[in-house]
Chain A
Amino acid sequence: MVKVNGKPEDAAGRTLAQYLKEKSFDFKRIAAELNGDIVPKAQYDTTVLRDGDELEVVSFVGGG
């Protein structure tokens, strides 16, 4: 299990890019942190989610 924004998800074994695509996240508007460290977008394809990982995905909305 991978904890995504505090909730357990069956995402282990997939790359971050695969998981985020499945969940329809717009890559250009998000920041993804894996176990407390930001993952640069260039590494989404090569970052594999593992059992016990904690993933935080922040989706920014416009306005400021």
Chain B
Amino acid sequence: MSIPTREQMLAAAVSRHGEANQRAISSASVAICGLGGIGSNVAVALARAGVGRLVLADFDRVDVTNLQRQQYKATQTGMLKTQALKENLLEIAPYIQIVTYNIRLTDDNVRTVIADSQIVCEAFDDAQCKAMLAEAVLAGYTDKYLVACSGMAGFGSPNAIKTRRISGRFYLCGDGISEVGEGLGLVSSRVMLCAAHQAHTILRIITGQTDV
């Protein structure tokens, strides 16, 4: 089995995205914090688009309950999410650079993870972790972008998922209200919609289109 060369894959990407855009995409680094339904789908979209470097952070292992929406395979149950996702991304995009942090992100260690990335994707499940990361990125730096998510659970309308630019470096995707809880679970297609909003927003920022 042979895979395309680095040059062949780059040429295919350039023909779709344009040379200047692809140059920016290929040299970008994005930190993805949380590798569940949002993070794993964002990672796949960015790897396919040819993002040069991804930083993947999560403490968790692949569980049977993740398989209905997250980009892992049944054969990967029990693996660390960082390792399983790295494996899957390298099958899709063999020349991507991937850095993994198998840690639970807190206010004390998050700066190490995001230090070398211009854009941070917030993909946590927990609302308090989302708020922690927002403050760490937006108050801790003057040049990093945060693309966060809030509200994507359930079978609600796909058209309720939106991207808002809260301020210059802060984008928020989701419907803002559909919280995971009793009777409202995460559904693969709606999670993917929100992840696609985030991934596309990240690609737009990389290529200099910072409006929404």
Contact = CB atoms under 8 A, between A and B. Distances in A.
A29 B131 contact: yes
A63 B170 CA distance: 19
Nearest to B126: A62
A3 interface: no
Interface in A13-27: none
A33 B34 CA distance: 24
Contacts of B38: 64
Contact of A64 (B36, B138, B139, B177): B36
A31 B127 contact: no
Contacts of A30: 131
Interface string B117-132: 0000011111110110
Interface string A50-62: 0000001011111
Interface of A: 28-31, 33, 36-41, 56, 58-64
B60 interface: no
A64 B123 contact: yes
Interface string B138-181: 11000000001111110000000000001110101000111111
12 contacts: A29-B127, A36-B167, A40-B135, A56-B166, A60-B128, A61-B177, A62-B180, A62-B181, A63-B180, A63-B186, A64-B36, A64-B130
Centre residue among A29, A30, A37, A38 by max chain B CB count within 10 A: A38
Chain A's interface: helix, strand, loop or mixed, by majority?
mixed
B151 A63 contact: yes
A36 B67 CA distance: 39
B37 interface: yes
A62 B178 CA distance: 8
Contacts of B167: 33, 36-38, 56
A56 B130 CA distance: 16
Given A58-B150, A64-B36, A64-B39, A29 B125 contact: no
Interface in B98-135: 122-128, 130-131, 134-135
Contacts of B153: 63
B8 to A, nearest CB: 35
A33 B125 CA distance: 22
A31 B151 contact: no
Given A31-B138, A33-B166, A62 B125 contact: yes
Contacts of A39: 139
